Amino acid sequence: MGRMHSRGKGISASALPYKRTPPSWLKISSQDVEENICKFAKKGLTPSQIGVILRDSHGIAQVRSVTGSKILRILKAHGLAPEIPEDLYHLIKKAVALEAFGEDRKERSKSV
């Protein structure tokens, strides 16, 4: 969304760390991180949910800096990747919800 009294649109964004190495204070090994990722995937969590849990609860900011590969690639290597991509899944879910909402609105408009 643009600014009210100027032309700019803003450049706010999160910045990735400059160094690609894991922090010196992080004492967890890459094998433990992979085990945690597989454990969360078996519970049915999506890759983005796994990343949020690892960041908030375990103090792992970037999985790629610790393990050398991304969460989805780790899941594919262990055969735990979702069948359809996560973004496509959420688009389908939104379309189904909109369709159900439209059907509900159609029924309500007939009753008026």
Q: What pLDDT does residue 63 have?
A: 94
- How confident is residue 109, by pLDDT bands cut at 50, 70 and 90? low
- Given a cut of 90, is residue 42 above it in pLDDT? yes
Tens-place pLDDT, residues 49-90: 999 999 999 999 899 999 999 999 999 999 999 999 999 999
Q: pLDDT tier at 106 (50, 70, 90 boundaries)? A: confident
The DSSP letter of residue 19 is -
Note whether 60 and 28 are within 8 A (CB).
yes
| Cα radius of gyration (the chain) | 21
Task: Give 110 or 20, the one with higher predicted confidence.
Answer: 20
